[in-house]
A = this chain, B = another copy of it.
């Protein structure tokens, strides 16, 4: 099975962190990769924004250029690898490569989340591969299992910890009992969180991955803006402590499900039972939990970011695409994308945790309970808590309609015995029961 002297040439768009990871892995594992591919893989061109910057990629100095389009068009580029990120010029370059019959591997989460189905169609029309394993959850093989391993199955729900920064913050808050602001500041100092952490803590990054997973799992078009989104900024040490006492942890979850032919996608912090496999996913790890009709429950865990983990996923895709190219074949396509109705968040049915600051007086509980009942939200658990000058009511509801819960919460705020609604979080207690 030794490879002959065939060479496939890679045009790398982007010479930054991920590009460096890709180049180093290709160099380090060159021999084994050649055997597995049936050809040597060589980086023939690298497009970078700033030619004057020094780089330590294991490629000849002569391959660098600041003309990305020339890399796409070059006769000595057989496969285009896009690791520059951002919507443009990445999108135009990828479409150009596909149209000219060149397969593309991309790690561009933002682009795939916003234009995925259009890009899949472009690849299909051109009869070439578009691979994007690295765009979701870094090193975790999740796109390939969804497209191939579960091709004969029906996926009903995907639930994921899709952002490492927020999982790191929530893990430290849980394990240290610390407050959000303190842990965020420390995470920023340690480099685990960006100076502007909005994309992570606000759930935008997770929402992009959730959109890609939903599109793929349910054969439809879900874009970033379709995903309901709440961040972790308002999760308090009290919420986490309360969750713990009740047998839950708090995680930022991306959830996509298909109910009665309607697709529901959402990213928000949620109570999750400690016995759920996702509950034990600590630190900066990502994980994706999949429920399918025949396969049952599956989980995939790994590093969601970083030059080498993301590079590993890119190189796996490059080998796949290269093998197909050598055989004149194409990898598995996304299925026909059917327009499916999206379910509004108000239609969501789940359990809720509500924390109320209340007056320490008789009758409050009855007043609160009546308010829930009046709005068709049934209470599963309740207890009163508090120190000398504050009293709190903690409530967990049965499954209720989000719309009804929201009306309830508005009404709670007007009750004389309720000082404020301190927290409202969804409780995701469906799932694994081994």
Bound CA–CA A124/B171 (angstroms): 47
Flag if B309 contacts A296 (CB, 8 Å).
yes
In the complex, A133 Cα to B298 Cα: how many Å?
A: 14
Say yes or no: B153 contacts A316, CB within 8 Å: yes
Question: Taking the complex as formed, is A382 at the interface, i.e. its CB lies under 8 A from any CB of chain B?
Answer: no
On whether the beta carbons of B296 and A152 are closer than 8 Å, the reply is no
Interface: A189 (CB within 8 A)? no
By the criterion CB–CB under 8 Å, are A153 and B315 in contact?
Answer: yes
Q: How many copies does the complex hold?
A: 2
Q: Is the CB of A301 within 8 A of B302?
A: no
Contacts known (A280-B277, A434-B284); A154 close to B32, Cβ less than 8 A: yes
A43 within 8 A of B: no
Q: Is A335 an interface residue (CB 8 A)?
A: yes
Q: A35 on the interface (CB 8 Å rule)?
A: yes
Nearest CB in chain B: distance from A24 CB, A = 8
Contact of A320 among B33, B148, B285, B297 (CB under 8 A): B148
Query: Which residues from B are CB-within-8-Å of A332?
Result: 36, 319-320, 323
Q: Is A318 touching B152 in the complex (CB atoms < 8 A)?
A: yes
**Given A300-B300, A335-B1, A335-B32; A150-B316 close (CB under 8 Å):** yes
Q: Is the CB of B295 within 8 A of A33?
A: no
Task: Tell me if A313 counts as interface (CB < 8 A to partner B).
Answer: yes
Among A152, A301, A309, the one with the most B-chain Cβ atoms within 10 Å of its Cβ is: A152
The residues of B that contact A279 with a CB separation of less than 8 Å are 280
How many angstroms from the CA of A139 to the CA of B145 in the assembled complex? 11
Interface centre among A124, A149, A308, A327 (most CB of B within 10 A): A149
Q: How far is the CB of A3 from chain B (nearest CB, A)?
A: 10
A283-B434 contact, Cβ under 8 Å, with A29-B154, A154-B32, A316-B150: yes
* Pairwise interchain contact B434-A285, C-beta atoms closer than 8 A: yes
Which residues from chain B contact A306 at a C-beta distance below 8 Å?
296
Instruction: Please determine whether A295 and B303 come into contact, CB atoms closer than 8 angstroms.
Output: yes
A236 to chain B, nearest CB (A): 23
Contact present for A26 and B309 (CB under 8 Å): no
- Tell whether A336 pairs with B1 under 8 Å between CB atoms, given A145-B141, A152-B316: yes
**A residues 386-434 with Cβ under 8 Å of B?**
432, 434
A1 touches B299 (CB 8 A): no
Question: With A1-B336, A171-B434 known to touch, is A149 a contact of B316 (CB < 8 Å)?
Answer: yes
Interface residues of A in 276-294 (CB under 8 A from B): 277, 279-285, 287, 292-294
Chain B residues near A150: list those with CB within 8 A. Answer: 141, 312, 316
List of B residues within 8 angstroms of A293 by Cβ: 28, 308
Across-interface contacts of A365 in B (CB, < 8 A)? none
* Interfacial chain B residues near A145, Cβ < 8 Å: 141, 144-145
Scan A135-174; emit 1 where CB is below 8 A from any B CB, else 0: 0000111001100111111100000000000001001000
How near does chain B come to A365, taking the closest CB pair, in angstroms? 35
Known: A149-B313, A275-B282, A329-B329. 11 other contacts (CB 8 A): A1-B124, A28-B293, A139-B292, A139-B294, A139-B296, A282-B434, A285-B432, A295-B313, A298-B303, A301-B301, A328-B329
The 5 closest A-B pairs by CB, nearest first: A283-B434, A152-B315, A329-B329, A141-B149, A294-B312
19 residue pairs of the A-B complex, CB under 8 angstroms, read: A32-B219, A35-B336, A139-B296, A141-B145, A141-B149, A141-B150, A148-B319, A151-B319, A152-B315, A153-B316, A275-B282, A283-B434, A293-B308, A294-B308, A295-B309, A295-B312, A295-B313, A296-B302, A300-B301
